[in-house]
Copies of this chain bind each other. A is one copy, B any other.
């Protein structure tokens, strides 16, 4: 958008929301607000760095804050009564967390890599919402978007084979990464552990790994590193994602 990529990425382009300037006001949620409202929100936001693997939110804890991820990646999960956890989603820069949680958080959140987030106490949020209706609307859209994501996930988990799930997820991540303004030619950044990805897709780790290997053999993807995946043939992936068999 703003042609001036003033901020030379110190290292990894993913660290700074995709080559985009780090300025708070350039994140999508805030971009959609009117100037006065945006200024008020930016002023209220508290920036905070976090370490790799840091626990950011605990399921069941009082949901008194709203978060926006500025840099890094976060894994969301629910704990089942006894069995191991179920990963319900991932957050990337620009994503909002906590809007869809009423009094208590519905899931836990852990940092995949170190990064930064901006937080806003809900009390303050309510006040701002009274003054600026478009903020309320923006948050409402954030909630419905979370809901839509969960619904799509139901589709993945409810009626897809392993290959379909992986193909669908890769395209989903690709779409999100491009929405963050990343170069479409750049490889996907998937810093989470394979285990988390497997849980997210309702698969066991070996099954996920095998599926990846298969896609690599067939030339649909390539993996420059453990945390990066290049989509070589989006069309084939899209076909695989929708068409049921083979």
Chain A interface (Cβ < 8 Å from any Cβ of B): 78, 80-84, 86, 88, 100-102, 106-107, 140-141, 143-148, 150-151, 153-155, 157-159, 199-202, 242-244
Contact = CB atoms under 8 A, between A and B. Distances in A.
A227 to B, nearest CB: 23
A86 B157 CA distance: 10
Given A80-B155, A88-B151, 19 more contacts: A82-B243, A83-B159, A83-B242, A83-B244, A84-B159, A101-B144, A102-B141, A102-B144, A102-B145, A106-B147, A106-B151, A146-B147, A150-B150, A154-B157, A157-B157, A157-B202, A158-B200, A158-B202, A159-B199
Contacts of A82: 242-244
A86 B144 contact: no
Given A101-B144, A102-B141, A151 B244 contact: no
A154 B89 CA distance: 10
Nearest to A136: B136
B150 A154 contact: yes
A38 to B, nearest CB: 21
A147 B155 contact: no
Nearest to A244: B83
A213 B158 CA distance: 22
Contacts of A146: 147
Nearest to A139: B140
15 contacts: A78-B154, A80-B242, A81-B242, A83-B242, A83-B244, A84-B159, A102-B141, A143-B143, A143-B144, A143-B147, A147-B147, A153-B154, A157-B157, A157-B158, A159-B199
